[in-house]
Structure 1
Amino acid sequence: MSRNKIYALALLMDSMIIFISVISSCFLFYENNRNITLYEIAYIFLLFWTTLIAGFHLFRHYRHLWRFASIGETKVISKSFVFTFITAGTLHFILSEWEVVKLSHSLLIMTWGITLCAFLFTRLILWSFNENKGMMNKKGKRTLIIGAGSAGILVVKELKKSIDSSLYPVAFLDDDPEKLGLQVRNMPVAGTSRDIEKVIKKFNIEVAIIAIPSASGSDITNIVNSCQKSGVDVKILPRISDIINGRITMNMIREVNVEDLLGRPPIQLDILSISNYVQEKTVLITGAGGSIGSEICRQISSFKPKQLLLLGHGENSIYTIEKELERLYPYLSIKALIADIQDKKRMEHIFSVHRPQVVFHAAAHKHVPLMEHNPTEAIKNNIFGTKNLAECAHQYDVETYVQISTDKAVNPTSVMGVTKRIAELIIQNVNQKSNTNFVAVRFGNVLGSRGSVIPLFTEQIKNGGPVTVTHRDMTRYFMTIPEAVQLVIQAGALAEGGEIFILDMGKPVKISELARNLIKLYGLTPDKDIQIRYTGIRPGEKLYEELFTTEEGNMSSRHELIYVAKPADLTEMDMPLWISQLENLVYSPGGEQTNDEIKKLLKEIVPTYQIDSFFLTRTNVRIKDEFISID
């Protein structure tokens, strides 16, 4: 029905409730001792109908959905009846003084009380009917809800209301000792997380749902392992911050993934500081079609920039993110720019025409082994491209320039890592003479990015294995793409110029353990159903990651998950000369001999660059001190 028809029906029903309440109170009050006249009944009815309906409109009673009633809706009725008590009492006193009508005040008070009870009772019936609709559905798989808090209760409520649900909740688990043995929504809290296997057997559980939005990665791992030992499928509820409108629906309950096993506390952003440097500004994002760049686009769009410039070399990826943003943010001004950051004239034209005020530089060659065999391309894109952008940002008075860097730039052992380190030095060098705030943000691996380890492992598992890991003891820092981008955007708000911000990546994770956990999530057994094969360290890789050089140390920033590296000493660095020498080598014919010369020059620019680390690792010389990296 339309809203007007629903309102008319509600008004009619409420009028009937008031009329019946008036008749009932009159009958009870007089008990046939005298006959009440129709005039008196009409008077009481009009008195209560007028004041009560006026109160309902005053407190917006008819804008509430009573089938989803809560304490808030009960307050609305209470306010309306207090208004009626005062208003009706005042009117009756005045009319009594004028001798328009003479009725007992006790009768009016009784009528008021009966009407209040009648309204609360009818609302309770409506709410109860909605709550119990579909409660008798017991056809779904017997489901264990892990977490008897607010999220778990919402899950049970939604599942029981869904008549066609494939899941039927039968019991809770919760680590709160005060809840053990109690009933929550007619379901027992049957134990703690240590009792999973016992409870699964007792209640014949087929599916378990983790409904603890704040659960740590280790907690989720333990729960998943216990459930899989009992042959039970495991699903998970997203973080509360990811649940739109605060209501849980079936499609929000999903499979557990590796990101959950590496779970971190929710990141708290300083929304005001971010808005101050992004809102109503023209924002340019390079590499906008990539994993990181596209996520920057999504998150920046929510801060209402004046215009978003999507710059990328691949037309398909730029087209995809452009259409996505147009759908999600129809009122946002978006401009797609197909360009190569190595093209200096094209960059100057873009900056002169569009005048970006904020730049996020995410375009880069990032694949370690590929760049090891193609060093000239890494230099062209990561070094020369960065130089072009930085000079344009300075020339056209960009306010904030944020560059995406990597932990592979620390004591680099790869061409990719050393080119990213030089890119950091370039923007620090330009920052010394510029009014633009140039900063770099350094972090490690992001889960799910193109070329990263998780998609590779997933594909290998789907193909029946083996899953290839380069080294048994290899460790990496991991973040999800949204987490990394949130902190990148936050770092831009902290920028004063020249800083290298390092994101808190949590604890490093063994790649071999990551592979095992991913195999288990597919319901398979590592080294039995899916083999894990160790292939050996590849050129340019490290065994362990570093986030700071010895010289940089680390200092805290205004955000608890962002640190600042001590700026490099640039006094003895002749960056223009080195860039000129690199250009001569890169653009001169020379083959492999030129590649050797290029690496020597890169080491001259970055003395901590370890050219021969790969060969030292291959001969097992102090392997524990070697460093490798995986994308």
Structure 2
Amino acid sequence: MSKFIQNYLSRRVLSRTAILALDILMIVFSCLFMYLVRYGFDGLTAEIRSDGTTVGLFLIIFNIISFVSLRTFSGILRFSSFTDLLRIVYALVLGYVLTFIAIVIIRKSNPLFHLDNLTYISIYFLNTFLMIFSRILVKEVYETITGSDMKPVNVFIYGTKEAGISVAKAIKGNNEFNYRVLGFISDESHMIGKELMGVTIYENNQDIFRILVSKNVHTIIVSPQKMEEIKNSALLANFVDHDISLLTTVPINEWNGSLKSKEQLKDIQIEDLLPRDPIRINMIEIASNIEGKRVMVTGAGGSIGSEIVRQVASFNPNSIILIDQAETPLHNLKLELKEKWRDLRTEILVADVSNHSRMDKIFSKTRPQYIFHAAAYKHVPMMEVNVSEAIQTNVLGTKIVADLSVKYNANKFVMVSTDKAVNPSNVMGCSKRICEIYVQSLAKKIEKSGEKSTQFITTRFGNVLGSNGSVIPLFKDQIKHGGPVTVTHPEIIRYFMTIPEACQLVLEAGAMGKGGEIFIFDMGKPVKILDLAKRMIRLSGSKNIKIEFTGLRNGEKLYEELLNHAEYTKPTYHEKIMIANVREYEYDEISRMIDSLIKVSYEYDDMRTVRKMKEIVPEFQSINSPFEAVDRVLEKVSKETL
């Protein structure tokens, strides 16, 4: 029976006309009731009844105008919010003020008009009470009937300033959220112990977790203002580590007047819990390098490439040439650019950077002045079994784009590298180190020649959060499907940075580079992947998700390095960017060795190709890979030579 009533009520909504008619009846009742209280049945003479009818008609007319103006009857009664009730108060005040003005005018011509001010005020208060009470009654009855499936979730609000109070009011006044606010958390000592909106304000210390358990609270809503203050502190992580689910809201300026739906509440992302300081960039310096320039981005459809495109677009370039061989991501980016930067000139080109004739045609036509080279294969285990493709795309592709940059007099060439290029343990990392070597040797050759030509800059950084194929999207998908979450090794650690942060630093390094530098980025503190997985599970609110260790993959290290042991760094004006001092190579020698490596790669003999790579990069020592056999052979040859 209860289910039938619940289904019936969920399909039935009182019409606006019916709600307006009920509100008018409440005006009539309030007027009649207060006249009866004032004069009694015996005192209601014909003259008093006539004056009362006049008052009632004015109240109905003016209140209908105010009801229509403020749309007090447009909502669904059972979902009435605090905002809806406030709108009723405003509408009644307007209607009663207009009526009172009319009554004052009538009294001037008829001093014996039967309505004193006390009776009139009483009518207003009774009318206000009835309209508000009717909404609350309908809401409470509905919640009682359907309460079996709508048990509210107990929550605390973190933040006691305007934003936190606004969140609490929105939750209390809107049944869709189905949350019950049982307390506030504050970092302000003068607020601790006081009450706000009928609940206590607590201090954020270790006692808070005991209080949360006692009140059966497992969810904290962090106000958007407080979120900005503490997102890089240990406070949020502390809640997650105690199995407390965290939510926040979109910024208040995106509320469109009020918080109306669950879509405006969002989970706090794992990015907010990683130990990273905010990054500040020199906007003026970057703008001066890019504004009005023809900019080319290779690998434009990838995670890094597409973000570089977005950031470059905001600096008013003359045009952007987008190069990628993946047509779908490139097409999606094209649609995004059309929507956000309608006036931006773009060339969207499907091309393989290792195809020399195709790239030469593109350079000849577009004449790029500023090149961001992000095209590369990046997945370590994939490249361990696709060695030749790693050489042909990463090494040959870089060589072609770099050489064409010189041929067509580009101003700058900025290459995106990786921390896996340091003491490489896999094919992908070594291929990127070879790219670094070639680009730097080409820069040194230009410097020695004294020619004014392309400035070559390399940027080296670690993992980026949320990039295609990275660990965070993988973990999210595994958690969504109930697990298990797979971690390769309990001790594996990685450096992390968000995609926008990494691209900001790439643009900054490109602006400050003079040619030949390898810039490395301060990635903050390394993160243990196991801890990352545990926090993501807690953050999701999921229970009984298991973590499985699958073993290190081919070529995978326990930790990545940003510098070779023999290297050292010198600072720049940006505290997050340093210049690595690395071994330098003679261009002619390295060019010959790389040409030989590329030629061997077309034979698709992986062992021979990897051996060539190790000859170029002696510190390349394979880990957990079939290519460890090459290391043993080279070591044996070295001993025999000695």
Please give the TM-score of this superposition, normalised by the length of structure 1: 0.69
Corresponding residue number in structure 2 for 1:195: 207
**What residue number does 1:30 align with?**
none
- 1:552-573 deviation digits (Å, cap 9, x = unpaired): 2122211111121114322487
Select 1:435's aligned residue among 443, 453, 470.
453
Shift in Å at residue 207 of structure 1?
A: 3.4
What do you get for the CA RMSD once the two structures are aligned? 3.1
Provide the residue aligned with 1:409 in structure 2.
421
CA distance in 2, matches of 1:502, 1:394: 24
Q: Which of 566, 577, 597 is equivalent to 2:608? A: 597
- Kindly provide the CA deviation profile for residues 510-546 of structure 1, in whole angstroms up to 9, marking residues without a partner as x: 1122122222223234xxx222222222221111110
In structure 2, distance between residues paired with 1:269 and 1:159: 38
For 1:602, give the aligned amino acid: M
| Residue 609, structure 1, aligned to residue 624, structure 2 | no
Distance 2:328 2:185 in 1: 47
Matched, 1:486 2:486: no
Structure 1 217/453 Cα, relative in aligned 2: closer, same or farther at 3 Å? farther
Q: 1:549 aligns with which of 564, 567, 576?
A: 564
Stretch deviating more after TM superposition (341-350 or 160-169): 160-169
Summarize the Cα distance change of 1:310–1:426 in structure 2 as closer, same or farther, 3 Å threshold. same
Distance in 2 between residues matched to 1:166 and 1:464, nearest whole Å: 25
- 1:453: which partner in 2? 471
Q: CA-to-partner distance for each residue in 1:145-179, whole Å, 9 max, x for gaps?
A: 11335653454465567685554645321233233
Quote how far apart the aligned CAs of 1:410 are: 0.0
SS at match of 1:441: strand
Match of 1:505 in 2: 523
Deviation string 1:48-67 (CA, Å, 9 cap, x unpaired) is xxxxxxxxxxxxxxxxxxx9
The amino acid across from 1:538 in the alignment is R
Residue 178 of structure 1 aligns to a residue whose secondary structure is helix
Moved more, 176-185 or 468-477: 176-185
Amino-acid identity (%)? 39
- Equivalent position amino acid for 2:490 in 1: R
Q: In the alignment, does 2:378 pair up with 1:362?
A: no
Partner secondary structure for residue 203 of structure 2:
coil
Once the two structures are superposed, what CA deviation does each residue of 1:436-462 show, in whole Å capped at 9, x if it has no partner? 221111111112111111222222233
Distance 2:180 2:624 in 1: 57
- Structure 1 equivalent of residue 269 of structure 2: 257
Greater relative contact order, per chain length (Cα 8 Å cut-off, separation 6+): 2
Matched, 1:393 2:393: no
Determine the C-alpha separation between the residues in 1 that align with 2:572 and 2:326: 36
Q: Is the 8 A contact 1:175 1:193 kept in 2?
A: no
> Which secondary structure state, in structure 2, belongs to the residue aligned with residue 322 of structure 1?
helix
CA distance in 2, matches of 1:338, 1:177: 60
Once residues 493 and 588 of structure 2 are traced to their aligned partners in structure 1, the CA distance between those partners, rounded to angstroms, is 33
- Structure 2 CA distance for aligned equivalents of residues 187 and 303 of structure 1: 49
Distance in 1, matches of 2:255 and 2:198, equals 26
How far, CA to CA, are the matches of 2:190 and 2:588 in structure 1? 65
Whether the 8 Å contact between 1:193 and 1:223 is mirrored in structure 2 is no
Aligned residue in 1 for 2:190: 178
- TM-aligned CA distance change 1:612 to 1:265, over 3 Å: closer
Contact map agreement 2:275 2:524 (CA 8 A) in 1 = no
Q: After superposition, what is the alpha-carbon deviation per residue over 1:378-430, rounded to whole angstroms, capped at 9, x for unaligned?
A: 00000000001111111112122111110000000101000000111111122
CA positional deviation for 1:259: 1.4
Counterpart Cα distance in 1 of 2:521 and 2:457: 13
Structure 1 residues 295 and 369, CA, compared in 2 at 3 Å: closer, same or farther? same
Letter aligned with residue 344 of structure 2: L
Separation (CA, whole Å) in 1 of partners of 2:169 and 2:280: 29
Amino acid at match of 1:341: V
1 CA distance for matches of 2:229 and 2:515?
36
> Displacement of 1:492 after TM fit?
1.4
Contact 2:300 2:374 in 1 (8 A): yes
| CA–CA separation in structure 1 for the residues paired with 2:498 and 2:170 | 29
The 5-angstrom pairing of residues 203-602 of structure 1 reads 205=217, 207-211=219-223, 212-215=227-230, 216=232, 218-228=234-244, 233-237=245-249, 251-432=263-444, 433=446, 435-525=453-543, 529-571=544-586, 574-588=589-603, 591=604, 594-602=605-613
Write the distance in 2 (CA, Å) between the matches of 1:545 and 1:439. 22
Asked whether the equivalents of residues 255 and 264 of structure 2 are also in contact (C-alpha less than 8 Å), the reply is no
Judge conservation of contact 2:495–2:527 (CA < 8 Å) in 1.
Answer: yes
Q: Is the 8 A contact 1:295 1:482 kept in 2?
A: yes
Separation in 1, partners of 2:281, 2:168: 31
Task: Give a deviation string over 1:75-126, Cα, whole Å, max 9, x none.
Answer: xxxxxxxxxxxxxxxxxxxxxxxxxxxxxxxxxxxxxxxxxxxxxxxxxxxx
| Equivalent-residue separation in structure 2 for 1:559 and 1:568 (angstroms) | 24
Cα 1:187–1:265, aligned 2, differ >3 Å: closer, same or farther? farther
User: Do 1:275 and 1:303's aligned partners in 2 also have CA atoms closer than 8 Å?
Assistant: yes
Separation in 2, partners of 1:263, 1:519:
18
Are 1:227 and 1:234, in contact at CA under 8 Å, matched by a contact in 2? no
Offset of 1:195 from its aligned partner? 3.3
Q: Determine the C-alpha separation between the residues in 2 that align with 1:439 and 1:556.
A: 16
Q: What pairs with 1:157-176 in structure 2 (closer than 5 Å)?
A: 159=171, 165-167=177-179, 169-176=181-188
Secondary structure at the aligned position of 2:242 is classed as helix
CA distance in 1, matches of 2:170, 2:455: 49
After alignment, is 200-209 or 546-555 more displaced?
200-209
What letter corresponds to residue 224 of structure 1 in structure 2?
A: V
Q: Distance in 1 between matches of 2:265 and 2:315?
A: 28
SS in 2 for 1:305: coil
1: CA distance, partners of 2:326 / 2:455: 28
